[in-house]
Amino acid sequence: MKSAAKNHILVPRPTQRRFYGHGIPGVELERLAGKLIVVEGADGSGRSTQIAKLVQWLEATGHATAQVGLKRSTLVSEELEQAQEGNILSRTTLSLFYATDFADQVENLILPALKAGFIVLADRYIYTLMARDIVRGMDEAWLKNLYGIALEPDAVFYLNVPPEELVQRTFAKNATLDYWESGMDLGLSRDMFDSFMTYQTAMQKTFRSMQTTYGFTIVDGMRSADAINADLQKKISAVLAGK
Amino acid sequence: MKSFAELNFPGRLIAVEGLDGSGKSTQIYLLKRWLELQQLKVYFSEWNSSELVKSATSKGKKRELLTPTTFSLIHATDFADRYERHLVPLLRAGYIVLCDRYIFTAFARDVVRGCPPEWVRGLYNFAALPDLTFFFRSDLEVSLKRILDGRPQLKYFEAGMDLRLSSDPYESFRIFQGRILEQYLAMSTEFNFLVVDANQVVEKQQAVVRELVTQRLRLQDFRRAERPPSKPPAEPRKKNLEEASAL
């Protein structure tokens, strides 16, 4: 806050950019001046609260921001929604459909925003998509190739909240558990509560196993929203300073 | 990658590939009719035809929203949907499945559009190879003429206009399809394409196709089961509607 008082606005330091794999044709990585910050976590882990707070803080400190999330592309979001409601697509198809949605947002939102020097906040990224598929037994090498189109973010925060607490938070808001977030398509249990617990535990385990490969910061999501945000701000400040 | 026969599927998959306007759709239609009239179990599937994905693809194409990457992914989605819901179950049930275009279309087109070849091949590595792949090799001028005879204008993506090769659609078509042809030819040996000279008249090509299919498949293995004697024998065509409603 001291620097803001002096009207000094930190200009983010450029860093070397990379795609995870083969990338997207025709992208000039060195022109992507902005920063890409990802917030991952289950439904109820506090992602949207944290992102809203980060936007407020970033704008207050003079940075332009853009927000992206899953299933928000112009190209396929409606169709994806329909497909999910009917639960008619098989696994590979659904994966590729999600990847299409993701790619469309990368090309039409993330890359242009980064080129314009924005701080892009992503409400989930390829990790959720990959973890969901890994839990469903899909080939990891296939997924890795598929999501080789993704840009490596500047920081990834995983909000860690145990399934017992996720259930409580979900019920406090909705009084029902989501079909997909409970992994009901997996046939783990006819009992939705049991299925939710088993599925979310498996998702957490998968995230932890992905942590070393993708280097996310695991954030304790059991603290107060402000305490978590202070933690994120500190880490993001370091990223902006090029550390 | 293995073919369906190598994976011990009872069914067989026959794919046709070729440039737009090579006449491959006419050929596979005639092949389908020939097989059906022999009372064989046949199913036909066309590239980019899965209902759900189609709406997104046509929206994308109409609004020119597609980039090489999303173009590639949306076609892979369409393929996966047809593959998992139709092709595989039917092949398990001992059908001859005919595909108007298969993964090679993506291998050729997406690479010409600039997608990394290893990435594209990786996307499709869940799919088994066809048991027979016919490649209809036509000259560019022949293809162009066939398309223009059918309709007055070239379609935007078919002419590769998204690649900005030329502002003239005809010139763009020649360059784009020429590059696709190169890709096909480069794959020809690797994937055992059966190359058919598509500059010939329809009948001559069909004779070649039928001959090769007869040589390579034991057609009697794909015969429809005889109907149980309690039901009256179905007359071909016409009566189909009544039958369906009676069921």
Domain B15-222, CATH 1.10.10.350 — does that match? no
Out of A79, A95, A100, the one facing B70 most closely (by C-beta) is A100
DSSP string, chain A: -HHHHTT--PPPPP----BSSS--TT--GGG--SEEEEEE--TTSSHHHHHHHHHHHHHHTT--EEEEETT--TTTHHHHHHHHHHT-S-HHHHHHHHHHHHHHHIIIIIHHHHHTT-EEEEES-HHHHHHHHHHTT--HHHHHHHGGGSBPPSEEEEEE--HHHHHHHHHHHTSS--TTTTTGGGTS-SSHHHHHHHHHHHHHHHHHHHHHHHTPEEEETTS-HHHHHHHHHHHHHHHHTT-
Whether B247 shows a pLDDT value over 80: the answer reads no
CA atoms within 13 A on the CB side of B41: 20
What tens digit of pLDDT does each residue of B136-166 get? 999 988 888 888 887 778 888 888 998 899 9
pLDDT on residue A217: 94
Hey, is the C-beta of A24 within 8 angstroms of any chain B C-beta? yes
Minimum mean pLDDT range among A1-10, B28-37, B89-98: A1-10
Residue A6: pLDDT band with limits 50, 70, 90: low
What tens digit of pLDDT does each residue of A7-57 get? 788 889 888 999 999 999 989 999 999 999 999 999 999 999 999 999 999
Interface test with B, best of A28, A76, A81, A126 (most B CBs within 10 A): A76
Q: At what angle do helices A192-214 and A163-173 cross, to 10 degrees?
A: 120
Hey, is the C-beta of B84 within 8 angstroms of any chain A C-beta? yes
Minimum mean pLDDT range among A76-85, A99-108, B161-170, B188-197: A76-85
Pick from A146, A239, A160, A236: which is nearest to A200 by CA? A160
- Give percent above pLDDT 70 in chain A: 97
| CATH classification for the domain delimited by A32-240, as one of 3.40.50.1380, 3.30.70.580, 3.40.50.300, 3.30.70.1290 | 3.40.50.300
Whether B226 shows a pLDDT value over 80: the answer reads no
Q: Report the alpha-carbon distance of residue B198 to residue B161 in Å, rounded.
A: 25
Whether A174 shows a pLDDT value over 50: the answer reads yes
Angle at A69 between CA A66 and CA A71, to 5 degrees: 135
Whether A199 shows a pLDDT value over 80: the answer reads yes
Mean pLDDT of A164-177: 91
pLDDT on residue B62: 66
pLDDT on residue A82: 80
Give the residue extent of every domain in chain A: 32-240
Whether B35 shows a pLDDT value over 90: the answer reads yes
pLDDT on residue B239: 41
Interface test with B, best of A78, A104, A126 (most B CBs within 10 A): A104
pLDDT on residue A73: 85
Whether B240 shows a pLDDT value over 80: the answer reads no
pTM for the whole thing? 0.88
pLDDT on residue B229: 58
Out of A82, A93, A107, the one facing B70 most closely (by C-beta) is A107
- List chain A residues with CB under 8 Å of B118: 22, 145
Q: Does the beta-carbon distance from A79 to B55 stay under 8 Å?
A: yes
Residue B243: pLDDT band with limits 50, 70, 90: very low
ipTM, two decimals: 0.87
Mean pLDDT of B210-232: 85
Give the residue extent of every domain in chain B: 15-222
Pick from B110, A39, A199, A54: which is nearest to B118 by CA? B110
What tens digit of pLDDT does each residue of B68-115 get? 999 999 999 999 999 999 999 999 999 999 999 999 999 999 999 999
Here the tokens at position A96 are 């590729």
pLDDT on residue A237: 96
Whether A141 shows a pLDDT value over 60: the answer reads yes
Residue B65: pLDDT band with limits 50, 70, 90: confident
pLDDT on residue B245: 43
Q: Are B59 and A76 in contact (CB under 8 A)?
A: no
Q: Does the beta-carbon distance from A74 to B126 stay under 8 Å?
A: no
pLDDT on residue B13: 98
Length of chain A: 243
Minimum mean pLDDT range among A52-56, A126-130, B190-194, B224-228: B224-228
Interface test with A, best of B48, B67, B88, B162 (most A CBs within 10 A): B67
